[in-house]
Structure 1
Amino acid sequence: MPSVDVVDETFLAVPPARVAPVFADPAAWRRFWPDLECEVITDRGDEGVRWTVGGALTGSMEVWLEPMLDGTCLHYFLRADPVGPDGRPAPLTGRRAARERRRRQHRAKRIAFALKSHLEDGRPPGEAP
């Protein structure tokens, strides 16, 4: 199992077709994950994207956009290990692994909440899109 295993879900009150273009844009990847090099494995359109990641971590990452109610459940997965000085995976253990997982979890939630704020554009709860 990778030492960095992050799973996150956030509801956005907009349809997947509004969220998908954000994750389809390679310029956004650099903003969201500046220390990761993303390469698309599968572009699933309005259902999201799967990547292999390199750079600070090596492994896989996925954004799955699930239609839910009148919006989207944004599922985020990151499964990777840090890269050592020799360029090979260097799994973390103990507190260092926990600290890195927390850091990546917080980053995922900041991205999701920023998208929620931007894409919902002040839509009050319960109001139709």
Structure 2
Amino acid sequence: MTSIQVADQTFVAAPGAAVAEILTGENNWRRWWPDLTLAVREDRADKGIRWSVTGALSGTMEVWLEPALDGVILHYFLHAEPKAPIRDLSAANRARRVAGKDMSFEIKSRLEAGRPAGVAPAHTAPPAR
């Protein structure tokens, strides 16, 4: 079992391909996880991406995109060991959980911008008459 264990999910009212496009941007990775170096292990396109993680942590990370309703559920997983000893493992796990949530909420807000709550996303709305 690894010391850092994060599993989280967020619904995004957008197609998996749109989410994947943001996820593949390496500049985003450096902003979301500045102390980590990510190497793509598997690019699953509109199904997500898997990375090997080095830097402050050593392990694996994944974003899995599961089609649901009129969008996807963005599942975020991180399983890693710290490179240096950590005094408060609970706080370290929380910090990594918050970083993952920041990433998923940024993607959600970018792709759902301007969409009123309860209104179908543009990619699923019926054509205008």
TM-score above 0.5? yes
Alignment partner, residue 93 of structure 2 = 101
Q: Which runs of 5+ in 1 are unaligned?
A: 85-89
Question: Do residues 127 (structure 1) and 108 (structure 2) align?
Answer: no
For residue 8 of structure 1, give the secondary structure of its aligned residue in structure 2: strand
Alignment partner, residue 44 of structure 1 = 44
Superposed CA offset, 1:8-61 (max 9, x none): 100011111110011112121111111000001100001010000000000000
Q: Which runs of 4+ in 1 moved over 6 A?
A: none
When the two chains are superposed, the root-mean-square deviation of aligned CA atoms in Å is 1.2
Alpha-carbon distance in 2 for matches of 1:13, 1:122:
12
Question: Do residues 81 (structure 1) and 73 (structure 2) align?
Answer: no
Find the partner of 2:106 among 100, 114, 120.
Answer: 114
Alpha-carbon distance in 1 for matches of 2:41, 2:17:
20
Alignment partner, residue 60 of structure 1 = 60
Q: Which runs of 5+ in 2 are unaligned?
A: 122-129
Q: Percent identity?
A: 51
User: With structure 2 as the length reference, what TM-score do the two structures score?
Assistant: 0.89
For residue 38 of structure 1, give the secondary structure of its aligned residue in structure 2: strand
User: With structure 1 as the length reference, what TM-score do the two structures score?
Assistant: 0.89
Alpha-carbon distance in 2 for matches of 1:34, 1:8:
20
